[in-house]
Amino acid sequence: MRLIHLSDLHLGKRVNEFSMLEDQQYILEEILRIIDSEKPDGVLIAGDVYDKTVPSAEAVTLLDEFLVQLSKRDTQTFLISGNHDSAERLAFGGRLMEQSGIHIARVYNGVLAPLTLHDEYGPVDLYLLPFLRPVQVRRFFPESEIATYTEAMAAVLGAADIDKTHRNVLVTHQFVTGAQTCDSEELSVGGTDNVDVSVFDDFDYVALGHIHGPQKIGRETVRYCGTPLKYSFSEVGHKKSVTVVELAEKGSVAIRTVPLVPKRDMSELRGAYNELMLRENYEGKPFRNDYLRITLTDEEDIPNAVNNLRTVYPYIMRLDYDNRRTRTESHVDGAEQVERKRPLTLFEEFYESQNGQPMSEEQRSFAKQLMERIWEGKE
């Protein structure tokens, strides 16, 4: 049985005030082309379908069109809500959609029952488990001690009566301990939302959502497929893809990826303003129309830099500077070191940290005279 694993579409997302809707429409069409080529038995979408619990009308329209197109293919689609979604809103009309092969996880009600597909090797049980917090689980298991996310997941999965002789697939949206994160994710402070990978031991494949970088966790068959698009500059080095899972007989799982090529990539440029504006440095270069983070190395701020740069690089998302001023050490000396330094020395260090250059002799002389007047009570 062949399954395609997707997650974290974040439809309607804005990155640095740029709407990603056009890019998302493009990448969904790319995904449909991959589906047409791969001809999977099922498409798994592991949460964060939308970027907001109350999505924009444009985002809803985009998902609607994607699901309509999936329903026209000879495949079944399985979809859960993530922490960015409203489980209730996403599940609306779900029972009607089942008639078209679109299966949306309902709001968790204390029961986790499988949906079953069949192939020449027998049944494959798919469990759709939306994003859950411990507080949502406790009321269904009043006699259990449920304080952590791991305990919540263990209670839910332990009550699911999983047939271990079947091939079992879980689609869920959680932060599994050990996952490598990036800037575009929404995680709890201190890692309190961590789930231990051991709770998934009864599953032949676990299709995870929530983390934006593709990766395995613990074993090859517990995987985050990652986002289809880059949503932060910490993802510049990511290779976005669709994960394809092949289930043969019990215990035999093969995994591969199919690369995704976006309408616009996300890249970083660095250099002096005048260098970046030289025609020879940008003409015909593929990164020119990427979403860009540009870091200028000029010592002085360039007036109207963003607008001028956008005449050459139209999709600049972020402009930074890297020079002596911005590289100044931010650490504060220990109290003993500070006490040993003369006031004028401390002032000189403060001046350099704020201005990226040392005081001139004239400025130093003026500061010294002013301090002396203050000590003498004349100021």
Q: Please report which confidence band the pLDDT of residue 38 belongs to, taking 50, 70 and 90 as the band edges.
A: very high
What size, in residues, is the chain?
379
Pairing of strands 219-224, 215-217: antiparallel
Alpha-carbon distance 171 to 86, whole Å? Answer: 17
Say yes or no to pLDDT of 75 above 70: yes
Query: Are 233 and 281 found together in one domain?
Result: no
CATH classification at residue 211: 3.60.21.10
Residue 17 backbone class (left: φ over 0; alpha: ψ -120 to 50; beta: rest): left
pLDDT in tens, 171-208: 999 999 877 877 776 655 445 578 999 999 999 999 99
Query: Are 84 and 190 found together in one domain?
Result: yes
Query: Are 353 and 314 found together in one domain?
Result: no
Domains of the chain: total? 3
- Average of per-residue pLDDT across 134-160: 93
What's the chain's average pLDDT?
Answer: 89
Closest CA to 114 of 98, 126, 99: 126
Alpha-carbon distance 235 to 182, whole Å? Answer: 7
Query: Are 165 and 221 found together in one domain?
Result: yes
- Average of per-residue pLDDT across 272-283: 94
pLDDT in tens, 92-146: 888 888 889 999 999 999 999 999 999 999 999 999 999 999 999 999 999 899 9
Query: Are 277 and 136 found together in one domain?
Result: no
Domain membership of residue 302 as a residue range: 266-326
Query: Are 352 and 232 found together in one domain?
Result: no
Q: What is the C-alpha end-to-end distance of the chain, expressed in Å?
A: 84
Query: Are 179 and 63 found together in one domain?
Result: yes
Query: Are 169 and 45 found together in one domain?
Result: yes
Query: Are 116 and 245 found together in one domain?
Result: yes
Q: What is the pLDDT of residue 351?
A: 81
State residue 118 phi and psi, 5-degree precision. Answer: -130, 145
Residues of the chain with pLDDT > 90: what percent? 71
Domain finish residue from 259, 284, 305: 259
Query: Are 80 and 125 found together in one domain?
Result: yes
Supply the pTM of this predicted model: 0.81
- Average of per-residue pLDDT across 265-286: 94
Query: Are 306 and 195 found together in one domain?
Result: no
Residues of the chain with pLDDT > 70: what percent? 93
Domain finish residue from 259, 279, 299: 259
Domain finish residue from 294, 309, 326: 326
Q: Which residues of 286-301 are buried (b: 16+ CB within 10 A; e: fewer)?
A: ebbebbbbbbbeeeee
Query: Are 88 and 153 found together in one domain?
Result: yes
